[in-house]
Amino acid sequence: MSNTLSYIIQINENFDKVNSSFNKFQTNVHTGIDKVQKQLNGLRLNNLIQNISSAADGLTAMNDPGIKLSTSLYDLSAITGVTGSKLKEIEGYARENAKTFGGAAADSAESYKLILSQLSPEIGKVPIALKAMGKEASITSKLMGGDTVAATNVLTTAMNQYQVSLADPIKASKEMAKMNNVMAASAKEGSAELPQIAQALEQSGLAAKTANVSFEETNAFIQVLDKNGKKGAEGGVALRNVMATLAQGRFLPKDVKAELTSAGVNINKLTDNSISLSERLKPLKSIMTDQALVTKLFGKENSNAAIAMIAGINEAERLTTAVSGTNSAYEQAAIIMEAPSEKNKQLQAQIDDFKISLFNGSNGLLAYTNILGNTARDFSNLMPIFQGAGTIISTVTSATKLQALWTGTVSGATAVWTGIQTAFNTVMAMNPIIWVVIGIMALAAAIVWVVSKTEGWGNAWKHTVTGAKLLFTAYVETVKAQFNTMVNGIMIGIDKIQIAWYKFKNMAGLGDSKANSAEISKLNSDVEARKESIKAGYKKAASTAVAAGMEFKAAYDSVKWKKESKTDDAGIADAGTIPGAASKGGAGSSGGGSASAKKSNEAVATGGTKHNYITITIKELNGLKDVVISGKDAANKAGSEVADELLRILAMATTATG
């Protein structure tokens, strides 16, 4: 009968649960970092970008009225050659006009520029006349939905077509005012609006002037033709052709003259420029029913227009009287300007005028701050891209370092694990149950051996966490350094502009030379300080990144194989001792152990009343259970729990064997 006690140790290891716990921990760490990064992006970066964008918009809004007016005035100066005090006078009129009628001072200056380019640059030499013409354009624009350019074109077209003399600019401005009221009254009384009147005048104005047809009567017949379907330019062409036919007089075809004379029409009256166009057309009323003669006289293209004009003589006379000597344009504009929207425009014009004063007061330097502000906005808009690039670089770098750490940690154990797996596969191939049990025991022993032969995991984890914190800090410091570069870059630009200004003052002999030099010295000092601030920001980010790298290296170096401790032979337990059995030479022992122990062993081995197997079940590797791993004592805690579990089971084995 054998005295050997056989142990069957069954290890049920839940590796899935271990992996799940670790994966859950890893996911929580990544999620936490992602949340921090999102908060940084959402609360800091976006707010930063918004603030920079708002500042840029504010600078643009402050700068806009002044720079636009300045640009228009320089264009005006280029056209007219007007400079100095007269150009300044024109600027004052433009600003005053804007406050009176609402709108931008630059629009008033643009109106002046159109007047000068379309009429005569010489008007610019008489600013008061230019002011009066600009006022007429602003009044007309109120009747045209605020379109100052279109209104100016209407007025200049009328002036040019009727060849108004510009030798006396002040007198010409009064003629423009008269024409303005005539066209406004015409649009009010008839069906053609101001744009259509201007189009018709482009085609017929010069002919009417040559035929000595008054501006008022020309407008009247434009309205008559418009009502009969001849609108805009088409009506102007028709009016011009009818007047051209009448002007032929004695040069009309003989057969036509004979027919007209037979109908009682006085040919000479048709060409009499001393009477109105209506009076010239009246003799033709007698042939209105003779379609053939009307067509022969005016041609197929113009016969309908001629009939409309002859039939509308009474209406034309009424309209001529209605549009003469009125202030219709002023009256209509006054009504329109009572609207709340117009009041708002006038208020805005006053605010813009204040901004122009600031622009002028800074000698145009506000324009440079506008450019710098917009440049800051451009850089801030690119910051998410910089951030993304930084994230990619830091992620790749971190991944590489972590991979190196892990590879270095487990590389020493690779051969051991390979040997274990090979042995296990061999055991499984042999199939007998006893060898399977032995193989499992060998695998368990190897696992315990690997764990027992390595050390330093606590320090490795501590260095890894510290390195991760430093790496994140380095990333934040990089973002801060980028922003610091942008802000200080803008400020350096402003300082440089100021330095140039004080240098110019010294060169031009403006102000106190010592004070100017002191300001230049101070500004140069500020520039150097800003440069140093930029360098310091990147230096701090770099040093933090280096420190993070050192922590990861320390983590890698922390995990080592344990050195075998040297002890006396007396300190080494007998490897053949069975748990629960007395040691050789121990108290109360004989050479072969106690008789009761032998008896119990024999009973167990031969199938006595006690079990001949002991099952050791470890359901959670290293005591990981469902507890979240955290803190520097996690590894020690896990190891102690496994040790406690094994001791408890081995104690049970001792009891079982007596």
> Each residue of 62-74: pLDDT tens digit?
777 888 888 888 8
384 and 272 co-located in one domain = no
Residue 416 is predicted with a pLDDT of 45
290 and 380 co-located in one domain = no
pTM listed for this prediction: 0.51
Q: How far is CA 445 from CA 25, 168, 416, 448, 587, in A?
A: 28, 117, 12, 5, 31
Domain boundary among 530, 561, 592: 561
- Sign of dihedral through CA atoms 592, 596, 598, 601? negative
CA triple 237-281-262, angle to 5 deg: 120
292 and 367 co-located in one domain = no
Residues 260 and 256: their CA atoms lie apart, in Å, by 6
**Residues of 14-29 as b/e, b for ≥16 C-beta within 10 angstroms?**
eeeeeeebeeeeeeee
307 and 372 co-located in one domain = no
* Domain range for 223: 190-326
Q: Label residue 167 exposed, middle or buried (CB < 10 Å: 0-12, 13-18, 19+).
A: exposed
Q: How far is CA 600 from CA 317, 551, 654, in A?
A: 144, 58, 11
Residue 188 is predicted with a pLDDT of 94
Residue with tokens 């050659």: 81
Residue with tokens 């716990």: 21
Residue with tokens 């891209």: 385
Banded model confidence at residue 5, pLDDT cuts 50, 70, 90: very low
> Each residue of 412-456: pLDDT tens digit?
445 444 554 555 455 445 444 444 455 555 555 555 555 566 666
Neighbour count for residue 283 (Cβ, 10 Å): 17
Banded model confidence at residue 507, pLDDT cuts 50, 70, 90: confident
On whether residue 638 sits in a domain, the answer given is no
On whether residue 180 sits in a domain, the answer given is no
Instruction: Inform me whether the pLDDT recorded for 254 exceeds 70.
Output: yes
Domains identified in the chain, total number: 2
413 and 495 co-located in one domain = yes
On whether residue 431 sits in a domain, the answer given is yes
Domain boundary among 523, 539, 561: 561
495 and 406 co-located in one domain = yes
414 and 494 co-located in one domain = yes
Instruction: Inform me whether the pLDDT recorded for 627 exceeds 50.
Output: no
Select the more confidently predicted residue: 560 or 652.
Answer: 560
CB 11 within 8 A of CB 616: yes
291 and 410 co-located in one domain = no
Q: How far is CA 44 from CA 49, 328, 337, in A?
A: 9, 60, 47
Residue 563 is predicted with a pLDDT of 64
406 and 548 co-located in one domain = yes
Q: Label residue 45 exposed, middle or buried (CB < 10 Å: 0-12, 13-18, 19+).
A: middle
Residues 231 and 305: their CA atoms lie apart, in Å, by 11
On whether residue 494 sits in a domain, the answer given is yes
On whether residue 132 sits in a domain, the answer given is no
DSSP-derived letter for residue 103 is S
Q: Which two tokens stand for residue 380?
A: 């801030």
- CA 38 to chain CA centroid, Å, is 19
384 and 434 co-located in one domain = yes
On whether residue 242 sits in a domain, the answer given is yes
Residue 289 is predicted with a pLDDT of 86
On whether residue 44 sits in a domain, the answer given is no
300 and 417 co-located in one domain = no
448 and 520 co-located in one domain = yes
> Each residue of 213-224: pLDDT tens digit?
999 999 999 999
Domain boundary among 534, 561, 588: 561
DSSP-derived letter for residue 337 is T
